[in-house]
Amino acid sequence: MITTFRQLIDACGSKADLMRRSLVLSFLSAITQGLAYALLFPLFRALVDDADDVWRYFAALVGLIVIDAALRFAETRLVTRMYIEVAFETRSDLGQQLKRMPLETLAKRTTGDLNHVLVGNVNDVVAIAGGMFSVLINIIVAPSVTVAATFFVDWRLALAMLVLFPLALPLYRLIRRQGARDTRLTTEAHADTASHLVEYVQGLPVLRATRQVGRRAERLQSSLRRLRDAQREGVEIGTIPSVLMAALVQLGIVVIAAVAVGLTLNDRLDAAAAVAVIVIAIRFSEPLAMFANMSVMFDFMQAAVERISEILSVPPLPTGVGGHEPAGAQVEFRDVTFAYDGSDDVLNDVSFQVPERSLTAFVGTSGSGKTTVARLLTRFADPRNGVITVGGVDVRDLTQERLMNEFSVVFQDVYLFDDTIAENLRLAKPAASDAELVAAARAANCHDFISALPQGYETTVGEIGGALSGGERQRISIARAVLKDAPVVILDEPTSALDTESEAAVQRAIDALVADKTVIVIAHRLSTIVAADQIIVLEAGRIIECGDHDRLLGEDGRYTQMWRAQQSTRHWQIVSA
Amino acid sequence: MSPSSRSSQSPPAEIGVDAVSAPDAGADPGTDDPALWSVIAPVRREIRMAMALAVVGGIAWIASILLILPIARELTDDSPDTGRLWWLVAAGLAAVLLAFLSRSFSFRASHLGAFRLEQLLRTELTDHLAEVPLGYVVTEGSGTLKKIVLDDVRSLHAFVADSTPLFARAIAAPLLGLVAMFVLDWRLALLSLAIVPLGIVAMFFAFRDYEDGRREVDAANERMNTIVNEYVQGMHVVRLFDDGSESYRRYRTALDETTRTLKEWNEKSQGGVYVARTLFSALPTVLILLAVGIPMYRSGRVDFPMLATFLALGPTVIESVLPLVWLQQPIVRASASVKRIERLRAVDRQSRPESGRAPLDGSVEFRDVSFRYDGRADDALSGVSITMEEGTVTALVGRSGAGKSTVAQLIPRFWDTDAGAVLVGGVDVREMTPEQLMGSVSFVFQSPFLLDDTIAGNIRLGDPDATDDEVEAAARAAQAHEFIVADLPDGYDAIVGERGSSLSGGQRQRITIARAILQDNPIIVLDEATAFADPDNEFKIHEALAELARGKTLIVVAHRLSTITDAHQIVVLDEGRVVECGRHADLVAQEGRYARMWSQFHDAQEWRLRSARGDVLDEVAAEAST
C-alpha cells in the first residue's frame, strides 16, 4: 500500500507536490466525515434524552459538513489541475525520450504498444491518481476515525467494529496476489489468441483452399477455448478472496448489530448509541465492500506506471556536449564490431574509409551486415567496439542534431507525415522559402506532379493517400533530402520496390541529390554501382572484398560470383514459351 | 457488494476520471443502444439471470436496512421483547446472507455469460471472415481484423459482465427504497428527496456545455492518438531532420492542444459537477433529515426509530443516483466497439453454391469485366476481356494503379466483379465452391504466409493427405530441401517460429512455393514484385517458380519486362482498360505504349550512380601506403 503511494507520487514527477497537497486534503476531508458520523452518538443520545444540547450537536454537524465541502472543493480543483498537468508532463517527457533513446531499443516495440503507453497508460495513471486515491483514503480513514470515536462511547462496541479491519487486510493481500496471477494467465491467453488470429487472417487464402476455416480452424478454435478456460478459472477460483472479503464486511455488520443489541439488553449500552452504531455500520458497509474492487485499479495503475518508467528509464545514447565540428564529409569505420541485443555479431572488426565526395557501395546477401553499417552511421545504436567518425570526429562526440546535419538518408520505405507536401518538405529546412521548395522539388523531379494536385504544395498527404504512387512518395522524400543539402547521402536500395516507370523518375531525382556529395549506397542491383569509387563486399559481418568494379571482377571472388548470377537473371524468363 | 470485477481487463479508468472531472454522458443514457443489446442477445439467458439475482440482492440489502426500524423500536421500548429482538437480528443475518449470495451468483452468471459471449462472437466473426471477399480481408489487414475480433469483442466485457447486474441493482434498490420510504413516512420520504431538485439543477448546469466540451476533448484525443502513431512510425525521419525543435513540433502542438481543450472543458464543467457530486453524497441529506426531523421528533410527530431508519435509508437512495451516471461509461466504450463489430458483420458474404460446378480445364477468361473498389470514384477495371488458354503464360503490365493487380486478384475471387464474369476452366468463379476454386488456382502474391508449425506441416497445407515423400519432393522442386536439411536443426520437423521469423524472406518464399507445388493446381497467379521479396535468393526462387509453373496456366503481374519477353501474350493495362495485347515482338513493333515502357525499362536498367570524383581510390591507396 505504502509502495503504491510512493509509486504514485513518483509518477507525478515535478507535480508531486500538488499530489501530496491533494492527498492531505483528502485525508482531512475523510477525518471530517468520520467525525461527522461519530457525532451521531451524542446527537442520538441527546435526542432520546430530550436534552437541549441536541441543537449544539446539530450545529457542530453543520460545521463539519461545511468544512468537508470546502476541503473537497479545494481538493477537486487541485486534483483536476494535477491530472491535466501530470498527463501533459509525462507525455512531454515520453515524447522527448522517444527521440533520445537508441532507435535499436525503440524498434523492438510496435507502434500500437508505444501508443498504448503514451495515450492509454498515461491516462490510467493520472485518472487513478486523480480520482481513486481520494476515494480510497475516504474508505479507510473515515470509518477509522469513527471507530476511534466509538472508543469514547463503548470500548466493546469499538472492538467489534475494529475486528473487520485486521481480518480484511490479509484477505486484501490475497486478493492482490490472486489478481496478479489471473491477470498474467488471461494476458498470456489473450496474447496467444492474438497471434493465432493474426495467423488465421493472414493465412485465410491458403486455409480456405483446404477448408480449414471458421469452426474448422482447429488451431484458432483451440486457442479461443483456452482463453475462455483461463477466464473461467479467473472467475471461479480467482475471485474467492474478494468474495470472502465481501462476506466478511457484510457479516461484520450483523455482528456489530448483534453486539450492540446484546449490550443494550444487558443495560451496558443505551439504546440511542446502539441504534447509532447500526446506522453507522450500514453507512460504511458499502464503501468498505468496494475496497476489494478498488484493488484492481491499483493493479492497473501499477502496471501502467511500470510500463511508462520502462520507457523513461532507457538510457539515451551518450552524446557530446557540442563544440566538436566535423572537418569535411569523410566517413571512417575503425575496427567496428556490433551485435544486436542477444544475438551474434552482425559486424565483426569492420574498417573502411569513405573519402569526401566519393561513392562507396555496400553489397552482400541479406544478413551480411550492409544495412547495419548505415544504421550505425546514423546512430541507430552504438558499436560494441571500435570507432565511427564523420569529418574526423567520433559520432559519439556530436550532439544528435549536429550528427544528423551531416546526413541525408533515402530509405526503401518512405515516411511522409500526414501534413501538407510543403510542410513535409520544410521538415528539412523550416525557414525555406517557397522558391526554395519549388527548386528542390524540381531537382527531385516532382514539381510537375505536385503542381498538378488540386491544392498543389498545400495538398495534405493523407487526403490523397493512395493517390500518390510509391515513386512519387519517394521523389518527395528525395526533394526533402535535396532541401536539407547534407554533405553525406545514404541510399538504402531506394528503387527496389518501384515499378519501371517510377524507377526511371526516381533515378533522375537521385542524380540531382547525389551530385557533389559523399555517397554511401546499399545496393542490390550491381549494375547500378559499377561506377562506384569503391565497392565493399560484406559477408557474415566481415569485409571480404573491397575495390572498384574492374578490380573486383579481376579478383574472381564473391563479387564476381554475384555479378555473374545477376547477369544471368537479367536474361531469365519466367517461363520460356 | 459485487465481488471484484478484476477479470475485466480493460482499465476501468473512467471511474477515476469521473471522480475528478465529470460523470459521463448523463444527458444521453446509452442504455437504450439497441445494437448493444442485440450483440449480447446470444447470452440473454445468463444476463437476465444475473440481473434478476442482482435485483434480489438489492432488495435484500434494502430489507436489511429496513430492519433497523423494528430493532430500534424494541431497543428503545421500556420492556423489550428479547426473543423477538434476536429473531430480528437473525432476520438481518438472513437478509445479509441472501444479499451476499445473490450478488455472488449474479456476478458469476454475468461473467460466465460474458466469456461465453466472447467465444461465440469470435467464432462467429472468424466464420464470417472465411466467407467475406478475400480482398476485404487483405485490405483491412490482419492487425485491424485482429483488433476487432480480439479487442473490440473483449471491450464488451465490462458492459456485459459488470454493468448489466449493476444497472439492475442501481435501478431496483433505490426504487424499492423509495417505495419503502413513502410507506413508512411520506413526510420524511419527501425530506430525503429534497436534495434531488437542487441536484438536478446543478447537473443541468454541469452538463449544459458538457456534450460540446466532450466532443472537443474526444476530437483532441483522437488527434493526439494519430500524432503519437505518426511520431513513433516516423521516428527515423523525425531524428534525421532533428534540429532540436522542429520535428518535435507536431507532437508538441497536439499535446498542447489536448491539454488546453481538457483544461477549458474542466474549467467549464467543474463547478457544476462538484456541486452535483456534493449534493448527491450522504451528508447533506443527513443534515436535512435532522434539521426537520429533530423538531418533528420533539413535537412527537415521528419517533426516534423511524428517524434513525431514514438516516440510514435516505442517503442510501440518494447516493445510488451517481453510479447510474458513471455506469454509462462502459456502455459508451462498448458502443464504439459494437459499431466496429457490426461493420465487420455487415460485410456481405460472397454467394457460395452448395455443390458447385467443377472447372473443365485450366483456362481463364475475363468476359467484359468491370470492377470498382468500394468508396472509389473510378472503375479499377472497365470492360476488360482477356482469354488465357490452358498451359499458356500471360503477363500483365502497366504502371502502378493501371489495374494489373486487380485482374490477378479477381481470378481467385478476392472480389466479385460489378459487371461481366471471370471464368476458370469455363465456369463462372461465383458458381464454384471455395474448395473447387482454391483447388484450381494457386497464387503467390502475398507476403509469404507460414503457420507457427513445423516445416512439413506448412508444406502439407497444400495437400493435407500428402506423404512425407511427396512433401520432400515438393521441397526439392522448390529449392527448399537443401536449406531445410542443412540449416535447420530439426529439418522438416523444425518449428517455423513466430510468423516464420527464423527464416529469411527467400526461404519463406520457397516454402510457400513448395506448398503450391504440392497443391498442384492447374492455374498459377504470380506477382513478380512480391515473389522476389528477397533479391539475394533471386536465382533459387527463379528455379522454384520455373518448377511451379511447368505445364501450368501462368498469369504474372510483371514489373521487370525482361522476364516476360517470351510470354504467349502480354496484356498492357492503363486506367483499368486493356490498351494493347500481343506478343513482345509484335508489341514493340507497334511502337505504342508497350514499346515506350520497354525503352524506359532499358534506360532504368542502364542507370548508374556516378561519383563526384573518380580519382578517389588512388588517394585511398596513397594514404594507406604512407
- Could you write out the DSSP letters of every residue in B8-77? --S--HHHHHHHHS--S-TTS-GGG-HHHHHHTGGGHHHHHHHHHHHHHHHHHHHHHHHTHHHHHHHHHS
Predicted pLDDT of residue A524: 81
Nearest-Cα residue of chain B relative to residue A521: B609
Please state, in angstroms and rounded to a whole number, the distance separating the CA atoms of residues B582 and A503: 25
Predicted pLDDT of residue B52: 95
B291 and A58: CB-CB below 8 Å?
yes
Cα A299 → chain centroid: 18
Name the residue with higher pLDDT: B568 or B141.
B568
Q: Which amino acid is at B185?
A: D
Phi/psi of residue A538, each to 5°?
Answer: -105, 145
Q: Which of B295, B225, B334, B70 is nearest to A114 (CA)?
A: B225
Q: Is A404 on the interface with B (CB under 8 A)?
A: yes
Q: How far is A127 from chain B (nearest CA, A)?
A: 5
Contacts with B, A 288-307, CB within 8 Å:
289-290, 292-293, 295-297, 299-300, 304
* Residue A247 three-state SS: helix
Residue B89: which residues within 8 A CB-CB, separation 6 or more? A254, A257, A258, A261, B71
Q: Is A213 on the interface with B (CB under 8 A)?
A: yes
* Residue B580 three-state SS: strand
Q: Are B514 and B477 in contact (CB under 8 A)?
A: yes
Q: Is A161 on the interface with B (CB under 8 A)?
A: no
Q: Which of A555, A498, A507 is nearest to A528 (CA)?
A: A507
Residue B545: which residues within 8 A CB-CB, separation 6 or more? A574, B444, B513, B526, B531
* Residue B336 three-state SS: helix
Q: Are B287 and B221 in contact (CB under 8 A)?
A: no
Q: How far is B383 from chain A (nearest CA, A)?
A: 23
ipTM: 0.78
CB pairs under 8 A between A and B: 529
Please state, in angstroms and rounded to a whole number, the distance separating the CA atoms of residues A288 and A171: 13
B287 and A61: CB-CB below 8 Å?
yes
Q: Is A487 on the interface with B (CB under 8 A)?
A: no
A296 and B5: CB-CB below 8 Å?
yes
Distinct helix (H) and strand (E) counts, chain A? 23, 10
Please state, in angstroms and rounded to a whole number, the distance separating the CA atoms of residues B5 and A230: 15
Question: What's the number of CA atoms in the CB half-sphere (13 Å) around residue A1?
Answer: 12
Q: Are B96 and A250 in contact (CB under 8 A)?
A: yes
B312 and A69: CB-CB below 8 Å?
no
Q: Is A215 on the interface with B (CB under 8 A)?
A: yes
B611 and A114: CB-CB below 8 Å?
no
Q: Which of B162, B6, B9 is nearest to A238 (CA)?
A: B6
Predicted pLDDT of residue B591: 92
Burial (CB count <10 Å: 0-12, 13-18, 19+), residue A55: middle
C-alpha cell at A411: 530509405
pLDDT at B624 over 60: no
Please state, in angstroms and rounded to a whole number, the distance separating the CA atoms of residues B216 and B262: 9
Q: How far is A81 from chain B (nearest CA, A)?
A: 8
pLDDT 10s digits, A54-93: 999 999 999 999 999 999 889 888 888 888 888 888 888 8
pLDDT at B622 over 70: no
Q: Is A494 on the interface with B (CB under 8 A)?
A: no
Given B5, B126, B228, which is nearest A119 (Cβ)? B228
C-alpha distances out from residue B472 to B32, B258, B484, Å: 60, 59, 10
Predicted pLDDT of residue B581: 95
* Distance in angstroms between the alpha carbons of the first and the last residue of chain B: 86
Please state, in angstroms and rounded to a whole number, the distance separating the CA atoms of residues B131 and A464: 31
- Residue in the block written with cell 475480433: B149
Predicted pLDDT of residue B499: 44
Helix (H) or strand (E) holding A339: strand A331-339
* Residue B180 three-state SS: helix
- Residue in the block written with cell 499458356: B392
A484 and B103: CB-CB below 8 Å?
no
Q: Which amino acid is at B613?
A: R
Please state, in angstroms and rounded to a whole number, the distance separating the CA atoms of residues A171 and A153: 29
B613 and A367: CB-CB below 8 Å?
no
Burial (CB count <10 Å: 0-12, 13-18, 19+), residue A267: exposed
Phi/psi of residue A515, each to 5°?
Answer: -55, 125
Helix (H) or strand (E) holding B191: helix B186-192
pLDDT category at B9 given cuts 50, 70, 90 is very low
Predicted pLDDT of residue A164: 64
- Residue in the block written with cell 551474434: A344
Please state, in angstroms and rounded to a whole number, the distance separating the CA atoms of residues A347 and A544: 12
Q: Which of B408, B397, B333 is nearest to B582 (CA)?
A: B397
C-alpha distances out from residue B295 to A47, A54, A279, B285, B298, Å: 10, 10, 20, 16, 5
* Residue B439 three-state SS: coil
Burial (CB count <10 Å: 0-12, 13-18, 19+), residue B588: middle
Nearest-Cα residue of chain B relative to residue A258: B89
In terms of phi and psi (left: phi > 0; alpha: psi -120 to 50; beta: otherwise), the region of A540 is left
Q: How far is A13 from chain B (nearest CA, A)?
A: 17
Pairing of strands B577-582, B569-574: antiparallel
Where chain A has pLDDT below 70, the residues are 1-2, 4, 128-130, 164-169, 209-210, 238-239, 289-297, 322, 342, 463-467, 496-497, 570-577
Q: A-chain residues within 8 Å CB-CB of B524?
A: none
Nearest-Cα residue of chain A relative to residue B255: A88
pLDDT category at B29 given cuts 50, 70, 90 is very low
Given B558, B562, B610, which is nearest A570 (Cβ)? B562
Pairing of strands A385-390, A542-547: unpaired
pLDDT category at B502 given cuts 50, 70, 90 is low
Predicted pLDDT of residue B424: 95
Name the residue with higher pLDDT: B220 or B326.
B220
Q: A-chain residues within 8 Å CB-CB of B15?
A: 131-132, 297
- Residue in the block written with cell 538518408: A409
Please state, in angstroms and rounded to a whole number, the distance separating the CA atoms of residues B24 and B335: 14
Predicted pLDDT of residue B245: 59
pLDDT 10s digits, B539-554: 777 788 888 888 899 9
Q: A-chain residues within 8 Å CB-CB of B284?
A: 65
Q: How far is B34 from chain A (nearest CA, A)?
A: 26
C-alpha distances out from residue A111 to A106, A119, B143, Å: 10, 12, 11
Which among B67, B68, B75 is the top mutation candidate for probing chain A, defined by the most A β-carbons within 10 Å of its own β-carbon? B75
Please state, in angstroms and rounded to a whole number, the distance separating the CA atoms of residues B235 and B530: 26
Residue B562: which residues within 8 A CB-CB, separation 6 or more? A570, A571, A572, B601, B605
Q: Are A348 and A514 in contact (CB under 8 A)?
A: no
Q: What is the mean pLDDT of the segment spanning B143-159?
A: 85
Residue B590: which residues within 8 A CB-CB, separation 6 or more? B580, B582
Question: What's the number of CA atoms in the CB half-sphere (13 Å) around residue B213?
Answer: 22
Helices (H), A210-336: 218-233, 240-265, 271-312
Q: What is the mean pLDDT of the segment spanning B186-210?
A: 83
Q: Which of A521, A514, A529, A552 is nearest to A373 (CA)?
A: A521
Predicted pLDDT of residue B15: 31
pLDDT at B24 over 60: no
A193 and B562: CB-CB below 8 Å?
no
